[in-house]
Amino acid sequence: MEGGLDFGVIWTNLTYFMVGRYPGGPMGGVLLTLYLAVVSLIISFFGGMILGLMCVVRNPLIRYPTVAVVNLVRGIPLLLVIFWMYFLLPFVMGRTTPESATVIAALSLFTSAYMSQIVQAGIEGIPKGQTEAALSTGLHPWHAMVFVVLPQALRNMIPSFVNQFVSMIKDTSLAFIVGVSELTQVATQVNNRTMIYPAEIFLFIAIVYFIICFAFTTLSRWLETRLAWRKAI
């Protein structure tokens, strides 16, 4: 309490917080956080699309197992998904996997499950007449989905995707648990080394996360009003 907060510790470690040992060594800090989030986002975009489509197909042999898996993943905490991956990936791959790959796999699986719900809702939100019109002009059901329904659905899903990306950025902090040196891990390292500035350090990284996430939240709100406006015309 004495003397208030002293943010000097942030300035002396600023490069470490931002990029880790990057140019000379492995990536770390904010850079690694963004790297994890972007790679997992790309994977879970496609993963969510595939799972979402599998949740709406007619074939019950595909549909019900997919729905079950999606609900299973959504029912457990991300931390447990990370532990599962940490434990299972070496078994499945037959060799040790790097920690960052474990985290990317866990984040991708977890977010794909949530993305699939967005995709499903997006597809169901397109009026049935669109599919019927596409089918009656002679398109194959898959072509009707890919060329008629999905392009319209995707546009409506964009704000939800951005929100999911914000959650993903926040979730990368859990990579800390398996020792990936992203922002939160870097902060605990600096905290363990300096000992007496925990409030300053964690407040600082909270603000860093906030700036990144808030930028995307604002983007998503802007997109939402803009897309709604376009639709109204």
Partner 1 sequence: MFSYQFDWSVVTSGQYFEWLVSGLKITLELSVWSIIFSFLLGLIIAVMRMSNVRPILWFSHAYLEFFRNTPLLVQIFFWYFGSYQILPKAINDWLNSVNFEFAAAVIALTIYTSAFIAEDIRSGVRSIPKEQMEAARSSGFSYLRSMRYIILPQAVRLTIPPLINQFLNVTKNSSLAMTIGVAEITYQARQVESYTFKGFESFTAATLVYLGLSLVIAGLMTLYNRRVLSPMMGGK
Phi, psi of 226 (to 5 degrees): -65, -45
The set of residues, in sequence order, having a beta carbon less than 8 Å from that of 214 and lying 6+ positions away, is: none
Q: Of the two residues 97 and 217, which places its CB atom closer to partner 1 in the complex?
A: 217
* Residue span binding partner 1 (CB under 8 A) among the ranges 23-31, 146-154, 199-207, 221-229: 199-207
Q: Which of 61, 91, 128, 136 binds partner 1 (CB under 8 A)?
A: 91
State the CB neighbour count (10 A cutoff) for residue 136: 9
Rounded to a whole number of angstroms, the minimum distance from the CB of residue 6 to partner 1 is: 10
Furthest-apart CA atoms within the chain: distance in Å: 77
199 binds partner 1 (CB under 8 A): yes
Q: Of the two residues 115 and 201, which places its CB atom closer to partner 1 in the complex?
A: 201
* Residue span binding partner 1 (CB under 8 A) among the ranges 45-53, 147-155, 181-189, 221-229: 181-189
Asked if 152 and 112 count as a contact pair (C-beta separation under 8 A), the reply is: no
Q: Which of 18, 135, 203, 219 binds partner 1 (CB under 8 A)?
A: 203
187 binds partner 1 (CB under 8 A): yes
State the CB neighbour count (10 A cutoff) for residue 48: 26
Asked if 163 and 218 count as a contact pair (C-beta separation under 8 A), the reply is: no
Q: Which of 7, 46, 214, 222 binds partner 1 (CB under 8 A)?
A: 214
Phi, psi of 19 (to 5 degrees): -125, 5
- Which positions from 49 to 78 touch partner 1 by CB under 8 A, shown as an x/- string? -----------------------x--xxxx
Tell me the H-state helices in the chain: 8-12, 14-19, 29-56, 60-75, 78-93, 99-124, 128-136, 141-143, 150-171, 183-194, 198-232
Q: Which of 5, 42, 133, 146 binds partner 1 (CB under 8 A)?
A: 5
Strand ranges, E, within 107-191: none
84 binds partner 1 (CB under 8 A): yes
Q: Two tokens at 198?
A: 């925990």
Q: Can you give the binding site for partner 1, defined by CB under 8 A?
A: 1, 5, 72, 75-80, 83-84, 87, 91, 94, 166, 170-171, 173-174, 176-177, 184, 187-188, 191, 198-203, 205-206, 209-210, 213-214, 217
